[in-house]
A and B are shown apart, each in its own frame.
Chain A
Amino acid sequence: MSGAREKRDPLARKRLRHVPPGARSRAMHALSARAAQGRLVMQACSDCDKVTYPPRDACPACWGELGWREQPAGAQVLCETTVRVSTDPYFRDHMPWRMGKVQMDAGPVALVHLHAALHPGDRAHVRAMVDRGGNAALFAIPEGAIDLMSDPQWREFVVPVAGRIALVSDARNAIGRAVVRELQTAGAELVVAGLPGPALASDAYDAVYALDRVQTIALDVTDPVSVAEAASRIGGPLDIVVNTARHVRTGGMSAGNALVEQRRALEVSAMGLSRLAATFAPILAGRPNGAFVDVLSSAALAGDAGNAGFAAAEAARLSLLQAFRHEMRGTGVRVLSVFTGPVDDSDHQHAPPPKVPPVRIAGAIAEALANGREETCVGDVAADAMMRWLADPSLYVREKNL
Chain B
Amino acid sequence: MSTTPALLSDLAVAIAGGSIEIVDLTNVLSSDFPVIVLPSEFGQCEPFRIETVSRYDGNGPAWYWNNISMNEHTGTHFDAPAHWITGKDVPNGTVDAVAPRDFFHPAVVVDISAQAAEDEDFVVTRAFLEEWENANGPIPPRHWVLLRSDWSKKVGTVSYLNLREDGAHSPGPDAGAMRFLVHERDCVGLGVETVGTDAGQASHFDEPLPAHSILHGNGRFGLQCLTNLDQLPTFGAMIVAMPLKIKGGSGSPLRVAAMVPKA
CB–CB under 8 A between A and B in the complex? yes
| A residues lining the B interface (CB < 8 Å) | 197-204, 218, 220, 222-226, 258, 260-261, 264
Which 10 residue pairs spanning A and B have beta carbons closest together?
A: A225-B31, A199-B158, A223-B31, A260-B43, A201-B158, A198-B161, A198-B34, A224-B51, A200-B163, A201-B164
17 A-B interface contacts by CB (under 8 A)? A197-B34, A198-B37, A198-B163, A199-B161, A200-B163, A201-B163, A203-B158, A204-B158, A218-B32, A223-B32, A224-B31, A224-B50, A224-B51, A225-B30, A226-B31, A261-B43, A264-B46
Cβ A202 vs Cβ B164 within 8 A: yes
One digit per residue, 1 when the CB lies within 8 angstroms of any chain A CB and 0 when it does not, for chain B 162-181 equals 11110000000000000000
Measured between C-beta atoms, what is the minimum distance from B69 to chain A in Å? 10
Q: Is the interface of B mostly helix, strand, loop or mixed?
A: loop
Cβ A197 vs Cβ B44 within 8 A: no
Complex: A223 Cα to B50 Cα, angstroms = 8
Complex: A261 Cα to B42 Cα, angstroms = 10
Complex: A264 Cα to B30 Cα, angstroms = 19
- Whether, in the assembled complex, B49 has its beta carbon less than 8 Å from a beta carbon of chain A, the answer is yes
Cβ of B35: which chain A residues have Cβ within 8 Å of it?
198
Cβ of B158: which chain A residues have Cβ within 8 Å of it?
198-201, 203-204
Complex: A385 Cα to B31 Cα, angstroms = 38
Chain B residue total in the interface (Cβ 8 A): 22
Cβ A197 vs Cβ B32 within 8 A: yes
Cβ of A258: which chain B residues have Cβ within 8 Å of it?
43
The residue that B47 contacts in the complex, of A223, A260, A261, with Cβ under 8 A, is: A223
Measured between C-beta atoms, what is the minimum distance from B217 to chain A in Å? 25
Complex: A218 Cα to B37 Cα, angstroms = 17
Cβ of B86: which chain A residues have Cβ within 8 Å of it?
none
**B33-71 interface with A by 8 A CB criterion:** 34-35, 37, 43-44, 46-47, 49-52
**B203-242 interface with A by 8 A CB criterion:** none
- Whether, in the assembled complex, B125 has its beta carbon less than 8 Å from a beta carbon of chain A, the answer is no
- Whether, in the assembled complex, B159 has its beta carbon less than 8 Å from a beta carbon of chain A, the answer is yes
Cβ B44 vs Cβ A264 within 8 A: yes
Complex: A223 Cα to B35 Cα, angstroms = 14
Complex: A202 Cα to B30 Cα, angstroms = 24
Measured between C-beta atoms, what is the minimum distance from A169 to chain B in Å? 16
Cβ of A223: which chain B residues have Cβ within 8 Å of it?
31-32, 47, 49
With A203-B158, A218-B32, A225-B31 known to touch, is A197 a contact of B163 (CB < 8 Å)?
no
Complex: A172 Cα to B120 Cα, angstroms = 25
| B residues lining the A interface (CB < 8 Å) | 30-32, 34-35, 37, 43-44, 46-47, 49-52, 157-159, 161-165
Cβ of B52: which chain A residues have Cβ within 8 Å of it?
224
With A198-B37, A199-B158 known to touch, is A225 a contact of B32 (CB < 8 Å)?
yes
Measured between C-beta atoms, what is the minimum distance from A230 to chain B in Å? 11
Measured between C-beta atoms, what is the minimum distance from A351 to chain B in Å? 16
The residue that B162 contacts in the complex, of A201, A225, A226, with Cβ under 8 A, is: A201
Cβ A201 vs Cβ B159 within 8 A: yes
Cβ of A203: which chain B residues have Cβ within 8 Å of it?
158
Measured between C-beta atoms, what is the minimum distance from B140 to chain A in Å? 37
The residue that B49 contacts in the complex, of A202, A204, A222, with Cβ under 8 A, is: A222
* Complex: chain A residue closest to B33, CB-CB: A197
Complex: A321 Cα to B162 Cα, angstroms = 36
* Complex: chain B residue closest to A203, CB-CB: B158
Cβ of B49: which chain A residues have Cβ within 8 Å of it?
222-225
Complex: A84 Cα to B72 Cα, angstroms = 66
Known contacts A199-B161, A258-B43; 10 further A-B pairs (Cβ under 8 A): A197-B47, A198-B35, A198-B161, A203-B158, A220-B31, A223-B32, A224-B49, A224-B52, A225-B30, A226-B31
Cβ of A222: which chain B residues have Cβ within 8 Å of it?
47, 49
Cβ of A201: which chain B residues have Cβ within 8 Å of it?
158-159, 162-164
* Complex: chain B residue closest to A346, CB-CB: B40
> Which of B32, B35, B164 is the most central at the interface, judged by chain A CB atoms within 10 Å of its CB?
B32
Complex: A226 Cα to B164 Cα, angstroms = 23
Measured between C-beta atoms, what is the minimum distance from A343 to chain B in Å? 16
* Complex: chain A residue closest to B168, CB-CB: A198
* Complex: chain B residue closest to A201, CB-CB: B158
Measured between C-beta atoms, what is the minimum distance from A220 to chain B in Å? 8
Cβ of B46: which chain A residues have Cβ within 8 Å of it?
264
Measured between C-beta atoms, what is the minimum distance from A171 to chain B in Å? 16
Cβ of A226: which chain B residues have Cβ within 8 Å of it?
31-32
Measured between C-beta atoms, what is the minimum distance from B247 to chain A in Å? 18
Cβ of A199: which chain B residues have Cβ within 8 Å of it?
157-158, 161
* Complex: chain B residue closest to A264, CB-CB: B44
* Complex: chain B residue closest to A204, CB-CB: B158
Complex: A198 Cα to B169 Cα, angstroms = 14
The residue that B165 contacts in the complex, of A198, A202, A224, with Cβ under 8 A, is: A202
* Complex: chain A residue closest to B36, CB-CB: A198
> Which of A203, A223, A226 is the most central at the interface, judged by chain B CB atoms within 10 Å of its CB?
A223
Measured between C-beta atoms, what is the minimum distance from B101 to chain A in Å? 34
Complex: A258 Cα to B41 Cα, angstroms = 12
Measured between C-beta atoms, what is the minimum distance from B124 to chain A in Å? 23
Complex: A203 Cα to B31 Cα, angstroms = 20
Complex: A260 Cα to B71 Cα, angstroms = 11
Complex: A224 Cα to B53 Cα, angstroms = 12
Complex: A222 Cα to B35 Cα, angstroms = 14
Measured between C-beta atoms, what is the minimum distance from A226 to chain B in Å? 6
* Complex: chain B residue closest to A200, CB-CB: B163
Complex: A223 Cα to B52 Cα, angstroms = 12
